[in-house]
Amino acid sequence: MLLLGEKFPEFRVRTTHGPMSIPNDQAGRWFILFSHPADFTPVCTTEFVSLQKRLGEFRSLNCDLIGLSIDQVYSHMKWTEWIREKLSVEIRFPVIADDTGEMASALELIHRGKGTNTVRGVFIVDPKGILRAMLYYPQELGRNTEEILRIVQGLQISDKHGVAMPANWPRNELIGGNFIVPPPVDEAGAKERPKQYECYDWWFCHRRMGDQGGR
């Protein structure tokens, strides 16, 4: 099973936007690969519409969206055409036609006890092709698009500023939208932390964005 921190495996795939090489074609950009159980299904349709409506926000984060199921490319094309005609939403991200099941099998997207379709998998990959986050949802539960967007935002902030995000960030019950400072590595650092940041204790300090230390 693919694990966090590992290099995302390479695939040559057919999509609604033509052939692609993943993750090579996304080098230098974040991307989210998400699988759906089947075309022409209600929950999947709501997910595609939701993701498309937030596509601009993902792209502002240098992040692409890529869909996938084991349907044929003709089915994908007809389904996205239906969404455009009936729901007035044009799907502008590519959808992989994994009709051989090769990619779904390699990424373990077909789970025992959940039928022969792919589950709702989400793989968040950074510009170096490293898997940074992975989510699985059952077929009966649609994904939370805002949570997926939050994950990308949080990972990018963490990479840039060396901080961690609390639960429910940016609306955490204890520190609101602040960021958690990594704990000190020695006793001297522990004594200085409360002088530099807002702290519950030396091991639990937080700061605002742009606050590099000092009250």
- Provide the angle, in degrees to the nearest 10, between the axes of the packed helices 42-53 and 73-87: 70
Q: What 3-state DSSP class applies to 89? A: coil
Extended strands (E) in the chain: 11-15, 18-22, 30-35, 63-69, 95-97, 120-125, 131-137, 179-181, 198-201, 204-207
Q: What 3-state DSSP class applies to 127? A: coil
DSSP string, 181-210: EPPPSSHHHHHHHHHHSEEEETTEEEE-TT
Active-site positions read 44
To which residue do tokens 């704990």 refer? 183
Measured distance CA(127)–CA(18) in Å, rounded: 22
Structural contact between residues 133 and 158, judged by C-beta atoms closer than 8 angstroms: no
